[in-house]
């Protein structure tokens, strides 16, 4: 089924992890893909090769999205390349986990700028394009941590909770332009982000998950593709793909 044929999708942080799988699955449905990465060019190049094998166009765009001017510039470059942007997936994100007693201003700012500032900046730049098209699908990757909180993640939780609130507001403002804005909230998912967590803590985490395992990045990607391809009347929602860790 190539129901996204002719559409252009940007996926931020698509060199690896969840973003890579989102890019691959959107490509399988026929969309041309702009892969954003920050530092891992060879990983991004590998994703490009995998996508090209499916017969659609894919290009890599380096941008450090922790800076708003660079985030806006990414949108402008993709628009210049294809002349339209139909789907924006804000996936790039980082953690800098510390308890509040140890958290520094730098830890706070790095996580808020990368995770939340980038979402604001890319959305604000893409809106004029999508409003003119009278079409847009924006999907922001949040986390169950933004809903529930998590020990040692005050900065991350604030950034992800902010994404949920931002998503709902933007959905309200953009509905009349046929632009839907939704959030996907993964639970603990097997990527390098989770690999940073020490083994003994990983065991404690699995014990908290009713389904008894971590999520797979492709399982998160399927929800994104559903919203992009079939979510015409879904807006302002958060879809939890979390194995039941937060209900």
Ligand X SMILES: NC(=O)c1ccc[n+]([C@@H]2O[C@H](COP(=O)([O-])OP(=O)(O)OC[C@H]3O[C@@H](n4cnc5c(N)ncnc54)[C@H](OP(=O)(O)O)[C@@H]3O)[C@@H](O)[C@H]2O)c1
Q: Residue numbers of the site for ligand X (CB under 6 A)?
A: 12-19, 36-40, 43, 64-66, 91-94, 114, 141, 143, 186, 188-189, 191-194
Q: In what order do the strands lie in the sheet with 32-37?
A: 58-62, 32-37, 8-11, 87-90, 136-141, 179-186, 238-241
Q: How far apart are alpha carbons 147 and 53 in whole angstroms?
A: 38
Give the nearer residue to ligand X in terms of CB position, either 44 or 130.
Answer: 44
The C-alpha torsion from 227 through 208 and 17 to 98, rounded to 10°, is 120
Using the minimum distance from each CB to ligand X, give the nearer residue, 45 or 133. Answer: 45
When the beta carbons of 91 and 167 are compared against ligand X, the nearer one is: 91
Backbone angles phi, psi at 178, to 5 degrees: 60, 35
Active site residue 156: yes
Quick one: CA dihedral 12, 15, 21, 27, positive or negative?
A: positive
In the bound state with ligand X, the residue whose beta carbon lies nearer, of 167 and 189, is 189
Task: Report which secondary-structure segment, H or E, holds 140.
Answer: strand 136-141
d(C-alpha 247, C-alpha 242), whole Å: 9
Q: Give min distance, CB of 51 to ligand X, in A.
A: 15
CB of 222 to ligand X, least distance (A): 14
Q: At closest approach, how far in Å is the CB of 64 from ligand X?
A: 5
CA atoms of 138 and 133, how far apart (whole Å):
14
Q: In the complex, what is the shortest distance from the CB of residue 233 to ligand X, in angstroms, rounded to a whole number?
A: 25
Distance CA 93, CA 116 (A): 9
Helices first, then strands: H and E counts in the chain: 10, 7
∠ CA 180-185-187 to the nearest 5 degrees? 160
Q: Indicate the residue among 126 and 135 with the shorter CB distance to ligand X.
A: 126
The minimum distance between CB 174 and ligand X, in angstroms, equals 21
Q: Of 135, 156, 177, 246, which residue is the catalytic one? A: 156
Cα 214 from Cα 243, distance rounded (Å) = 8
Catalytic positions, written as ranges: 156
């Amino acid at each position: 089924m190539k129901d996204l044929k002719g559409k252009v999708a940007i996926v931020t942080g698509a060199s690896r992890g969840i973003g890579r799988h989102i890019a691959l699955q959107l490509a399988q449905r026929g969309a041309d893909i702009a892969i954003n990465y920050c530092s891992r060019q060879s990983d991004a190049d590998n994703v490009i090769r995998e996508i090209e094998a499916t017969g659609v166009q894919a290009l890599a765009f380096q941008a450090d999205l922790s800076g708003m001017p660079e985030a806006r510039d990414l949108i402008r470059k993709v628009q210049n390349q294809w002349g339209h942007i139909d789907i924006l997936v804000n996936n790039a994100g980082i953690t800098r986990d510390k308890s509040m007693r140890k958290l520094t201003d730098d830890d706070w700012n790095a996580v808020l700028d990368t995770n939340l500032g980038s979402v604001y900046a890319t959305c604000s730049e893409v809106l004029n394009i999508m409003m003119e098209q009278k079409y847009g699908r924006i999907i922001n990757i949040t986390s169950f941590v933004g809903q529930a909180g998590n020990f040692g993640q005050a900065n991350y939780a604030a950034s992800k909770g902010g994404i949920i609130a931002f998503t709902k507001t933007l959905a309200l403002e953009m509905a009349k332009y046929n632009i839907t804005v939704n959030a996907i909230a993964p639970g603990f998912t097997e990527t390098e982000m989770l690999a940073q967590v020490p083994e003994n803590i990983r065991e404690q985490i699995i014990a908290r998950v009713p389904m008894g395992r971590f999520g797979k990045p492709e399982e998160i990607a399927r929800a994104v593709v559903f919203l992009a391809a079939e979510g015409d009347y879904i807006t302002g929602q958060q879809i939890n793909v979390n194995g039941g860790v937060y209900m």
